[in-house]
Structure formats: structure tokens, C-alpha cells
Structure 1
């Protein structure tokens, strides 16, 4: 679970505790006490004190604590109580931390660190009201601001506290300080840590609505909107803040991300450009803009941005990878290989080499691509799945369906919920004409991903093509188009369904729209047949004459007019 990126201020005494780190030993042992510092101590206790400090110096704080804490109790010496606390902390001994802190508080009621331990330990025991009482005592002696203390509390308390206890504690703090934004901020931090991001959002939105909240509240909100894919909610809530703060570039960058998620590409591009114009070294925004241009198919502009970034440390690998992608799209395969071979960062190395293998398949044949894939050494299952999927795709390109199926199945064994792999396997079954297995797998795909348009289309078009279950096919395809109304192949499926039912006017409307989006040979065949069925013979022939030459390898299309005329 991603967390809100809060900026926390942790004072030294608090960072020693950390409450969640009670079992961890600091790298450096706390400095010891000299025996002569303790007045009126009996010789036996003096010896035990010296022995304890010797054990601490040798790296055994637990044994040292067991010797020193009884001395602290016997002498009621505040320095020994503090020293015992340090040793218990160093040993990660929770009971000792609690005991020594309690003694320390008794002997020095103004000691903030001891009271801090009090409320954290009360939370550890699930005692919310006792924790609140200790917190209030702590606040009376704390040198920190309320804001800093609340932030520190959120960072420390959540680590070792059960969610219901932690949430109850921070809700009570919110009641104690309703006019302080940091109380809501701390509640949001805790909620997000406990995997309750919507509650975290509500807390932050409440703070931003009621109080004069600082930038970090809005920054945390933006991160949550992005992470939780609450795009519309984020755009609406943050709009006024963005308008009032046009030069808060960090927030402008986050808002641009939301715009991209909402497909508001022009607005996002303009916002990224303003960020870059104002901050020429805003390389992350430049990368985002380059990726956006790439997504929009503006390859030349994207290439310009990536070339700029390729000379910037920390951005070279990602830039070389996408420059390789662009060069491959431009059919400059040798240049693509040169860029991709420069990639060394683990985040991009495997993907770059899969693209190199794909280029080798194109230029040197299947064996060359497979051989290159076999030289790769995946470091985990996720990487192995990528390699297996690439092998399956390559085998499929050469109609070696048995090997493609075998590699998809190996990948699916490792990643049983991976949509592209499940979809690829289903398509292979179709090519193998194993229609019984195809239908079973396609149904499973729809059941697993009921809102995935391509999954719905895979089953719907299968029914249309076989002219069976047409009512179910219409439901599947209409659902797919409701999710993505501009996906040309689904429009084609829906048009062909209307054709199968004899609704030629409806069919032509769907198919014409699909053809306007993508000049695809399958759509062209369906559109010509639909026009022919409506006695639009000349229009059908003209369409065939104009566009059939674009698809010389599609023999069905090349012979379509002869088929329709019965020649």
C-alpha cells in the first residue's frame, strides 16, 4: 500500500523510541554513567553499577539494564532512571522501556521523553483513554509545537498499534484540537497507514475545507487522488486551490497527472509546459510531457524531449528506452537497437532487451529473437513472465500455435490473474480452432475481468461470428462500448452483430464509425458486405477499389467482389 508522503519532524528522543522499533537495536550504544556520579550508593550496588556499564560497553544492554534498573529503583536517582531507559531502548526491551520511563517520570515530571513513552506504551496495550491522559501530560512539558508533536505521534503510534486503537486515538486527538489542521493531518496519516485511504481523504478534505491548511495537506490529497484513481473527485476538489496558486509547481505537476488520468490531454500538456518554462530543470515534468506526447502519437515532439533528457543524469536509461521505442515505430530498427543497447538500469533493461529480441525477429527471423530471449536472466517471477509472454507472442507471429500456447500456459502458471496473458492464451486457442476451449477460457476471462472491454468483445464477437447466443453477444458488446465507446474493433463487432440479425442500417452506422477511426481490413470487409446487402453495389465496389490495394495479403478481401457477384 502506498502511503501519503508526509514530511515528518522527528526529535532525537522520539526517534530513539520509534515505538514500532522496540525490537530493533541502534547501531550505537548509549553512553554510560560513571559510578562516582551516583551519591550515597552502597559498595555492592556500586560494583553492580560498574559491572552493568562494562556489559553495556561490551554490547550487552539487556544484561546491563537488569543490573542498573534495580539500582535506579533503590536509589531513586533520576540519572540512573534515564540510563536504564536508554539501555532498555538499546536492547529493544518493551517492558523495560515502560518500567524505566515510569520511574523516570516519577523522579522528573518535567521530562518530556518519559511522558512520550507513556502514551505510546498505553497505545501498545490498547488503552486509548490512558494514552490520551499521558499525551496531555506530555504536551504540558513538550518543547515542540503542537503541529510537530501531532506529526511525530502519527509516525510513531501507527507502527505498533492495532488499527482500531490507533484510529480511536487519532480521532480523540481530532476532538481535542478541532481547529488545528495537523490533528486532521495526523488522522489521515494513520488512516492511510491502516489501509483506509477513503477515510484519509475525508479527513484531509475536511481540514482543507474548514481551516487554513498548508501546502502539504493539498500535496497529500493530490497523492491520494492519484494513487486511488479518484480522478474526477481530485480535479473538482483541487481546482480552486490550483487557480489560486498558479506557481505552486509541485502541486501543478500533481494536478497535471490527474488531468492525464482523466484524458484531459491538452490541458495537461499546457500545464506541464508552464512548469517546464518556469523551471527548466523540472526534468520529471519534462519526462511526463514526453510520455504524454508518445501516448498521443506525437512521436517527433516526444523524441525531441527524450533527446534532451538523455543527457541528464538519472534520466538516460528511460530516455534511451523510449527513443528505442520511437525508432522502432519509425521502422529505423538499427537506430532502435543502438538506443536500446545503451539501457542498463534494472527497471528498463529487461524490457529493452525484449524489444531488441522483437527487432531480431523482424530482421533475422524467429530463431534469432528466441535465442536473444534465452540469453536473458530474469531475476524474479515477474520478469520471467515477461520473457515467457514475449516467447509466446513470437511463436504466434509464425503460427507456431502449440509452442505459443505452451509458453502462455507457463506464464499463466506464474501469474494466474494477468490479463494480457489470459487474453493472449484465449486468442491462441481461437487460432488453433479449439473453439470449445476458447469459449470456456473467454467466459472465465469475462468473469475475472467483467469491466474489461477486450474481454467482453472476445466472447461477444465469438458468438457473433458463429451466429449463436446473439442476445448475450449484444449484452456483452453493449457493455464493452459503454466502457470504451471509441474502440474500433468493438464497434466492428457490434456492427457485424447487427448485420447477422439483418439490421443493415444499424450495422452500417457502427461499421462506418469503426472505419473512420481505423482503416482496418476486417472492418473494410464487413462494411463492403453491409453496403452490398443494402443494394449499394456501386458504393461497395468503389470502397473495395479504393482500399483493397492497401491490404494485398488479405486474400478474402482481394476476392470479395468476385464472391459477392458470384463469379
Structure 2
């Protein structure tokens, strides 16, 4: 990469090379004289060459315009704005191009160098700067230095020029101001209905800027004035957003209906209206609205989201069939959505085919590969699933969030396989990427618990509770782990009691409570809690617990019937095998 020193040394080397070449020519001439017999001189003197005595001036780097511009651009590629400002300041003094002076002034303002900015502005004005642009930069400088009156004067000059981009430049000045409160005051003072041009976009931009600067009342006032003046779809839609922010949902819906009447084919308006309907709980109305009119990728995505929220399998299936037949451009930009829809309907082969079509440049590329790994594992292709996740771990090595997800997915698949050593290793890799991540600590704690490494499991769950005090799932997990190990039962009782209070109808927590009662010798309470959990959800581990309690109570036929059901649910359940070994020594 080029730097200031490398540019200077490059110029020096060029001069040295030129001098060396001239010296070499002289030396060669001397050598030739020494090695060749002297010949008689010609009768006429040689005619001197035209450039024999010419001297080419080579400027030093500080006075070399090209060198300064090159160094300035290189500094910008390194995002070294201070160095870029210095180089462009020197270039502005050497150049007659007003654009160079403009760049120098803007950079000087960006690095808060007032003196350099004034020099560059003077040079720019001398070279014929257009009034609007120079007023913009002078206003930026004044705001940067806290000179509110001068900033207002320059902004008035800017909008007074009548330049077609004047109000856009006005907005840029205020958006970039260090003192946003001062910027908001100037906005309200200058961007009034009396001053704003006959351009709806300018009104909407000022209203949006006011909202961004915390002047919602001003934003709403300008939005309403724009709506009354222009009565366009855009102004109705923006005024509707202002009303929605104020909590006036009925008023917002009425304005959006007017906007749609003006532009019924506008997909952005339909999306906005559908979003407002869904936020109000009218998912059916939102779906009906989106189903009418032209369809694009965004419309299909929101329709799918609404159907998924309503758990409407028929609507999802119909949407999948419709999207399959959509225009090629829409279908090609919706391949990730098609994969999701196919996966929701358990059409795994089709889902894989769609995910495979997601391009590497698509924003969903990582998610498509991640989902593909999950499907491959479900299909029994465990090796392929883990290989794909390993590829993701390498491909996203410098993107922490994706890297964490790839390691976590790998860990969860290994945990599903009961390969606890590899699951623990994958969770630990993920925790190196995102230390103390609650989800990862919880997953690794479960892995340790399943592997019988109780101390490590307890350590992870306790660390998790330090990070998220009172977390229900962590409290239940630690309480259950302690109860299952038959240790620290008072602490286990306190933790599981907290979880029960937060989620009294959760079968997993009821199972923990029942198993704790069993460890404490309260068989009747244990059987009651576990029977309720088993009826609520036929989970294999809950069934094993209930069967053991019934066995200990002497209800062996009932216990055996439960064990048989567990075996049908999960023939490879390790807890069932271990329990039966204990009960049938």
C-alpha cells in the first residue's frame, strides 16, 4: 500500500535512476575512449543536439500535485481522514481545479480543522465555487464550531440560491451536525411551509428529518401540511405513519386507504398497510390485502410470514404452489423463501434443491446452508451435515455471529446423536467466539449433564445464572441436574420452585419437580407431578421417571406399561436402558 513516504521515496528513486543513467552513459563513453585507438578528428565540428543542455525540473513531493492527490486517495482507502485532509489541503493550493478545493474543504470540516477548512474554502471560492455548494460547506463548518448564527446565515443563503439540490444539501448539513439539538432548532426555524419548495419530496424529507432529530410534533405538522397541499399517495402514506406513531391507528388506516386509492399497484404501500393491519392484530385482513394485485418477492415474503404466524398450513401450501408458478424474476429472487416453504411441509428434497439455488451473494446464503445441514442430518446423512457445517465454520471465520451459529448447530446435532464429546467441543469452540453467551452455556451445560459430567454442568448453569439472574430455564436445568445427581437437594428445591412459580404448567418443570420429590422420598407427590407431566407431553425421559416411581411404589404392571410406551417412542433411549438395568439387576 502506498503511503506519503513511499510516494516521496518513489520520486527520489526516479531522480536517482535518471542521474545514474546519465552517469553510466558518461562512464561508458570514457571506457570506449580508453579501449579504442584514437582516430583523427573530423574536419567539421559536430552539431550539438537540441536537448543537450536542457534541464528538466523535478518538483519535490510537497509541490507535486499528482503526488499529493495520490497520497490523499491512498489515505482515504485507509480511512485516515486526517492524513487525507492534509494531502488535499496541499493539493488545493497547487491546483486550479475547484473540485480539488471542494474536496479539501469537506475533508477539513470532517476532521474539525477549522483553519484548514477556511483556507480551502477561500481557494474554492477564488476558483469559482457554485454558491449553493460553498454555502453548504460554510454552514457545516459553522455548525461544527458552534456558530449557530453563522450556520443559519449560510443555510439561508443555500436555500435562497434556488438550486434544485438546495434542500437536499440543507438536509445533509443538519444530519451531519455534531449538535443535533441545534440542528433541530435550525430545521424548525428555516424549513417552514412558507419556505419549502413546490416539491412533495422536499416536504417529506424535512418531516422525516424532524422525526429523526426528535421533533415529532414538527414532523407531524409538516406531514399534514404536505398531505393537504399535494394530496399524493406518498404524502398520505407518510402522514399515516405519523398518526400511527401517535397511537391513532384508525386515522392511520384511513390515510393509508387514501394512499392506496391513489396508487393501488404500489407494493410498498400495500406492504405498509398490511404491516399496520398485522400490528393491530388483523392478520386475515393483511393477508387478503396482499393477495390482491401484483406480487413481488417482498409481498410473497410477508404473506408467508403472516400464514406462518397463524400456523395456517393450508395457506402455506397454497402459497408455495403459487410462488412456484410466479414470474421467473420473482421466483429467482425468492428461492430461499421457497426452500423455507418446502421445509415447513416436510418436502425435504425440494427444500434442499431450492436452498442450493441461493447464490453466494444473497443475504440468505448462510441461512440456506445452515438449513441444508439440518435437513441432511434429518435425512440420516450425518457426515454430509457435519461437513457442510465445517465448511461454514471456515467460510465465516471472520464473521463472529455466523461462526457462532455454525458451531452451535454442529454442537446441537452432535448432542442429538448423543456424541457428547464432540458436542462439548463444538459448544466450547462457539464460546470462544462469543464468551459467556447464555444459549451456548445452556447447551454445553445440558451436554455435560447428559454425559454424566455433573460438576461441569453445574458450573455452566451457575455461570449462566450469574449472567441472567432468575432465568427460568437455567434455574430449572440447574435444579434438575442437582436433583438427578441426588446432591444439594435444598438448593435444587429452591431453584425448581422458582421455575414452577414462573411457569406452573410447563411439563419439563413439572418433571423436574416430580423427580426432586422422588429423590427426597416423597413418592406420592412425585407420582402425581410426573403423571401430570406425562399426560401433558409424552416425553421419553418423563415416562422413564414416572415408570421408576411407579415401580418403587409397587405398581409394577403400570410401570411396565409406561416403559413399553417409552420404548415405542424412543427405542434407543439410554435412560430407559439404565433404569431397567437398575430395576432388573
- Greater displacement, 448-457 / 288-297: 448-457
Q: How does 1:328-407 map onto structure 2 within 5 Å?
A: 332-346=347-361, 347-363=363-379, 366-374=382-390, 377-382=394-399, 383-407=402-426
1:153 aligns with 2:153: no
Question: Is 1:432–2:437 an aligned residue pair?
Answer: no
Residues 465 and 475, structure 2, Cα contact 8 Å, conserved in 1: yes
Match of 1:131 among 151, 163, 166: 151
Aligned partner (choices 204, 208, 213) of residue 220 of structure 2: 208
The answer (yes or no) to whether the contact 1:150–1:186 under 8 Å persists in 2 is: no
Structure 2 equivalent of residue 186 of structure 1: 209
Q: Name the SS for the 2:490 alignment partner.
A: coil
Q: Which has the higher contact order (CA 8 A, sep 6+)?
A: 1
Q: Which residue does the alignment assign to 1:253?
A: 271
- The whole-number CA distance in structure 2 between the counterparts of 1:520 and 1:313 is 45
SS state at 2:155 partner? helix
Which 10-residue stretch deviates more, 386-395 or 116-125?
386-395
From 86, 95, 102, the counterpart of 1:89: 102
- Residue 480 of structure 2 contacts residue 512 of structure 2 at CA under 8 Å; is this kept in 1? yes
Aligned residue in 1 for 2:137: 117
Residues 205 and 221 of structure 1 are in contact (CA less than 8 Å); yes or no, is this contact kept in structure 2?
Answer: no
- Matches of 1:235 and 1:488 in 2, distance apart? 42
Could you tell me how far 1:372 is from its partner in structure 2?
4.3
| Matching residue of 1:271 | 286
Q: CA deviation at 1:122?
A: 0.5
CA RMSD between the two structures: 5.3
Q: Which runs of 5+ in 2 are unaligned?
A: 1-63, 71-87, 109-114, 195-202, 228-233, 261-266
TM-score with structure 2 setting the length: 0.61
Inter-CA distance 117–272: structure 2 relative to 1 (3 Å threshold):
same
Among residues 569, 576, 582, which one is paired with 1:551 in the alignment? 569
2:93 is aligned with 1:66: yes
Change (3 A) 1:118 1:477: same
**Deviating more after overlay: 489-498 vs 245-254:** 489-498
Contact 1:340 1:353 in 2 (8 A): yes
Unaligned runs of 5+ in 1: 1-53, 69-82, 192-199, 226-232
Query: What is the alpha-carbon distance in structure 1 between the residues aligned to residue 311 and residue 147 of structure 2?
Result: 59
Query: Could you tell me how far apart the structure 2 residues matched to 1:286 and 1:391 are?
Result: 31
Give the structure 1 partner of residue 187 of structure 2.
Answer: 173
Q: Report the structure number with the largest CA radius of gyration.
A: 2
